[in-house]
Chain A
Amino acid sequence: EVQLLQSGADLKKPGATVKISCKVSGYTFTDSFIHWVQQAPGKGLEWMGRIDPEDGDALYADNFRGRLTITADRSTDTVYMELTSLTIEDTAFYYCAPGDTLVRFDPWGQGTLVTVSS
């Protein structure tokens, strides 16, 4: 069974950096890109970026470029999403999901709530 287990909720102050982990199991880590999606409370879904765990190649959405870094650790089958210079607007759930060649995201991690507050 494919599973993505994300790290727990986090509380950060404005200007801080958050790093969320997404541990993959149930399939070969390098077989699928891992994507990250942001969802502010009560709002819609926004694609943030993705990484190819095979070679570490990452692609970022314009809205996050410069603040977002996605990395992959093949020794632990874990992907990390780091977002810097946090503002209150970054308060959101963050989800990871594998995406195949059809770029269909399935299954999703359970989500990680990041709260940014002074």
Chain B
Amino acid sequence: IQMTQSPSSLSASVGDRVTVTCRASQTINRSLNWYQQKPGKAPKLLMYFTSNLQSGVPSRFSGSGSGTDFTLTITGLQREDFATYYCQQSHRAPYSFGQGTKLEI
């Protein structure tokens, strides 16, 4: 299953609302996770099964979608949100990732 994210990079400002899109090459129902990665760090799970916030993740993060099209939305960007975001399908192995979206100031 191929996962395609858009955009590859995104410039935004503190306080903005941004949306990242992830598209699967075939239906994955709602089996879609999102990760955040900061430079020099391991990825961190943000959201699972499309719209469920991982414990400790701020509520400004939200997710939606089903089938093949999914979105990650950050409402009210904070400085600490500038990072790279990856989607990952958990429908079946191999558990492929999107190519990443770099969110820059």
**A and B are interacting partners:** yes
Contacts A35-B95, A104-B33, A104-B90; is A44 near B45 (CB within 8 Å)? Answer: no
Q: How many residues in B have their beta carbons less than 8 Å from beta carbons of A?
A: 21
Query: Would you list which residues of chain A between 70 and 118 have a CB under 8 Å from chain B?
Result: 95, 99, 102-111
Query: Would you list which residues of chain B between 16 and 45 have a CB under 8 Å from chain A?
Result: 31, 33, 35, 42-45
Question: CB of B94 within 8 A of chain A?
Answer: yes
- Asked if B90 and A103 sit within 8 Å, CB to CB, the answer is yes
Binary contact track B87-105/A, C-beta < 8 Å → 1, others 0: 0101001111111100000
- Asked if A103 and B94 sit within 8 Å, CB to CB, the answer is no
Looking at chain A's contact residues, the main secondary structure is loop
Question: In chain A, what residue has the closest Cβ to B34?
Answer: A104
Q: How many pairs of residues, A versus B, come closer than 8 Å at their CB atoms?
A: 61
Chain A interface category by residue count: 20 to 34
Question: In chain A, what residue has the closest Cβ to B94?
Answer: A61
In the assembled complex, how far is the CB of residue B88 from the closest CB belonging to chain A, in whole angstroms? Answer: 7
Which residues of B sit under 8 angstroms from A50, Cβ to Cβ? 93
Which residues of A sit under 8 angstroms from B48, Cβ to Cβ? 102, 104
Question: CB of A55 within 8 A of chain B?
Answer: no
- Asked if B97 and A102 sit within 8 Å, CB to CB, the answer is no
The 10 closest A-B pairs by CB, nearest first: A103-B90, A108-B42, A106-B45, A104-B48, A45-B97, A61-B94, A47-B95, A44-B99, A44-B100, A104-B33
